[in-house]
Structure 1
Amino acid sequence: MAESGSPGGTEGQTRVRREGIPLGRIGGVPIVLAYSWFVIAAFTVVAFGPVLHNEYPLLGTSAYVVAFAYAVLLLISVLVHELAHALTAKIYGWPSQKIVLNLWGGHTQFESFTASPGRSVVVALAGPAANFVLAGGAWLVLGTNSLGGVADILTNIFMWANFLIGVFNVLPGLPLDGGRLVESIVWKATGSQAKGTVAAGWGGRIIVLAIAYWFLLRPFLAGESPNFSLLMITVLVGGFLWMGASASIQQGTLRGRLPLVSAAALATPAAGLPATGTVRDALLLGADGTKAVVVCGPDGRPQGVVDPGALASVPAAAAEATPVTAIAFPLAAGAFVPEWSKGQELIKFLSQLEGRHYAVVDHNGAVTGLLTQEAVMAAITGKRQRNDRYPQGQNR
């Protein structure tokens, strides 16, 4: 539910325009209408226009205008839903990057924040609560019998739309808001948000299977012909939910492996060697059991890694006269990390560096290990890395 960083300046404005139409800000939160929304608006007009025309013949072709108004009311309902998320999160100091209204309804993107089980539930359920309030308000208006004609039709549609949006979103599975309740319960019980996310993701998959059974398989087994519009909505919604649930399971699994990502634990033992050293010095370090040799510049900072293949190819007679820099490939600028770095902090730092190799240093700046991109990815994904602990050749 969180996405770090926020667009700024000309580049950010260009990115927003590519994503959709800026609608301004509400409560300080930018609102963007994605171009994909016009697809669902067109579908609403095509699907519900004829229905309204049949039920209310006096409307004539205006039935399609009313259907479009229905799409706009849905948009407003989703906007209120997402604003409830954003403004409730603001109470806890969780900055909202933007609200995007799109084909699937909408979503609120947050910047980095620290969540807790209780606050996560409150922010998640604020959205459905807002829709129930709107549905209740529309119900009270309808109870006055003061409306008539198109106003009565749209108010009734607005009431049911918000009621169904609220009910649908409290279903216990991600990516729906009710999934945050499942996530928080498991999180509170186990102390692991990752386990909660995985459990809620599986809840989302179960919901998809239940929807498919009720709207597709059950009518088929009963010998009924499915309504085309209902079939399309079920397939689209089910596909969207399945992808969201699968992404949640993957995200939770990766988050659960973050504690395994430690610079000290994943690094190959290494030692530093001044750039003024020779191949013979590197061979002596190898004889002492050092598996990797990192070349350090005059300021003591790592600047290269000795290539084991090149080291082995130097004749013994030339070892004393060959500089170690002749058999080393360069490290990217700043490619060294403290040995106590771990978890998300380490991954975020490495993502800002170029290259696939990173020297590991202690509190004194002395080299203690060599970390590779392959080792980090293996820890995150659980897939076994290649046998060579650090690739030979150039640092690509």
Structure 2
Amino acid sequence: MADPQPAGRREGIPLGRIAGVPVILAYSWFIIAAFTVIIYGPMLLRNNPALGFSAYLVAFAYALLLLVSVLVHELAHALTARIYGWPTQKIVLNLWGGHTQFESFTATPGRSVLVALAGPAANLLLAGGAWVVLSTANLASVAEILTNIFMWANFLIGIFNVLPGLPLDGGRLVESAVWKVTGSQARGTVAAGWAGRVIVVAIGYWFIGRPVLAGSPPDFSLLMISLLVGGFLWVGASAAIQQGTLRGRLPLVTAAGLSTPALGLPATASVDEARRYAGQAGAVVVCGPDGRPQGVVDPAALAAVPAAVSPSTPVTAVSYALAPGAYVPEWSRGQELVQFLSQVEGRQYAVVDHNGIVTGLLSQEAVVAAITGRRQAADRRAKGRNG
């Protein structure tokens, strides 16, 4: 049987490492490359008939220059983040341009802005360099065309990315400003996401709505680009709003607050003892010889054991196993708790106090409900019924 492909290979074509950062060319990039050739090739041919079929090759070269521009943009993010000790996992170049994926790190409003603005700054520097070349060098026609395109592309990429709304880099300005004022990064992310949606509406009005209201159909190329860019921004802005909302709920995720009461019972105990324990708490956790939780008593199986044999039936006969290490301190909360649970198999976790004594049983469903807001909605409905 063949070995499965590495994750990078499944995601796209690995291009190697630059400054130690893996770079991957996603297969979706070829879609934007084809789009560039189809849209820009005929336009270039009309303006430069002498090029003939070479106009399409120049259009493809334009797509490659855009790829280089995006790569420089993302490298600027990664290298600036390295100054603050933020580890970069990879850079992916794709249909939407690209993104830099970081590992876990601790951000501040100021550092977040500097890392975000490093990308547009790099593009503006490339645009300035191309302008110097155009101003001083005597280039051949194709080289001049590509250099001119390269200059304007980087200028527009730089300016466009500083617009104040996520997922654009300028959205970090909004996020950091709100974060600084409120002390909540989550609120900043939500605000920047809504700002991103406003930008989409503005783009739609300017390039599509305005011409239609004026009585003339929008240019086809601008229409397609507006739909493509607007769709990307809307999806990214919506994801930012969702991410910020979920992050804002993390303080509600506590092991003690989300667990049901439980008591620990040694594995040497009997079903009869488990029944007495079950009457005192909502759940019974079975602990091994070392005192660590290793299983949970199944209420249905416990009730099915006849009373006559319950004193001689071991509690392990009516329990199911917990995953190895599936127990958390009752003071665990927020991102720390979520990260720990994501690394442990199973859907239930014993909760223990400072002395290692079982105090509760935490379910994965309770954590997910708290993060997604379903728990608060259920609590409100319950209060409404009781009221």
Q: Same fold (TM over 0.5)?
A: yes
How much has 1:178 moved relative to structure 2? 0.4
Q: Please, which of 65, 82, 93 is the counterpart of residue 101 of structure 1?
A: 93
| Equivalent position of 2:154 in the other structure | 162
| Equivalent position of 2:205 in the other structure | 213
8 Å contact kept, 1:268–1:369? yes
After TM superposition, the structure 1 stretch with the greater mean CA deviation from structure 2, 276-285 or 99-108, is 276-285
Corresponding position: 1:192 with 2:184? yes
Q: Please, which of 287, 294, 298 is the counterpart of residue 296 of structure 1?
A: 287
Counting only pairs closer than 5 Å after superposition, residues 265-304 of structure 1 correspond to structure 2 as 265-287=257-279, 289-304=280-295
Q: Please, which of 77, 80, 83 is the counterpart of residue 88 of structure 1?
A: 80
Corresponding position: 1:307 with 2:298? yes
Corresponding position: 1:352 with 2:332? no
The separation in 2 between residues aligned to 1:18 and 1:283, in whole angstroms, is 52
How much has 1:281 moved relative to structure 2? 1.5
TM-score by length of 1: 0.90
The one-letter amino acid paired with 2:210 is R
TM-score by length of 2: 0.92
| Equivalent position of 1:136 in the other structure | 128
The separation in 1 between residues aligned to 2:281 and 2:376, in whole angstroms, is 21
The one-letter amino acid paired with 1:353 is V
| Equivalent position of 2:374 in the other structure | 383
| Equivalent position of 1:63 in the other structure | 55
The separation in 1 between residues aligned to 2:7 and 2:117, in whole angstroms, is 30
Q: Residue 375 of structure 2 aligns to a residue in which SS?
A: coil
How much has 1:123 moved relative to structure 2? 0.5
The one-letter amino acid paired with 2:265 is L
Q: Are the structure 2 counterparts of residues 337 and 47 from structure 1 closer, same or farther at C-alpha, using a change threshold of 3 Å?
A: same
Corresponding position: 1:179 with 2:207? no
What is the Cα-based RMSD across aligned positions, in Å? 1.9
The separation in 2 between residues aligned to 1:101 and 1:263, in whole angstroms, is 39
| Equivalent position of 2:384 in the other structure | none
How much has 1:386 moved relative to structure 2? 12
Q: Residue 97 of structure 1 aligns to a residue in which SS?
A: strand
How much has 1:383 moved relative to structure 2? 0.3
Unpaired runs of 5+ residues, structure 1, are: 1-9, 388-396
Q: Are the structure 2 counterparts of residues 18 and 313 from structure 1 closer, same or farther at C-alpha, using a change threshold of 3 Å?
A: closer
The separation in 1 between residues aligned to 2:149 and 2:358, in whole angstroms, is 68
8 Å contact kept, 1:271–1:293? yes
Any idea what the Cα deviations from partners look like across 1:167-213, whole Å, max 9, x if unmatched?
11001111110011111111111111111111111111111111111
Any idea what the Cα deviations from partners look like across 1:44-66, whole Å, max 9, x if unmatched?
11111111111112222221121
The separation in 2 between residues aligned to 1:327 and 1:15, in whole angstroms, is 41
8 Å contact kept, 1:275–1:297? yes
| Equivalent position of 1:362 in the other structure | 353
Q: Please, which of 9, 19, 28 is the counterpart of residue 20 of structure 2?
A: 28
8 Å contact kept, 1:375–1:385? no
Q: Residue 332 of structure 2 aligns to a residue in which SS?
A: coil
The separation in 2 between residues aligned to 1:195 and 1:74, in whole angstroms, is 34
Q: Residue 99 of structure 2 aligns to a residue in which SS?
A: strand
Q: Any runs of at least 4 consecutive aligned residues in structure 1 with deviations exceeding 6 A, and if so which? A: none
Any idea what the Cα deviations from partners look like across 1:214-242, whole Å, max 9, x if unmatched?
11122112221222222221111111111
The separation in 2 between residues aligned to 1:151 and 1:120, in whole angstroms, is 37
The separation in 1 between residues aligned to 2:12 and 2:318, in whole angstroms, is 52
Aligned residues: 376
After TM superposition, the structure 1 stretch with the greater mean CA deviation from structure 2, 39-48 or 301-310, is 301-310
The one-letter amino acid paired with 1:356 is R
Question: Percent sequence identity over matched residues?
Answer: 76
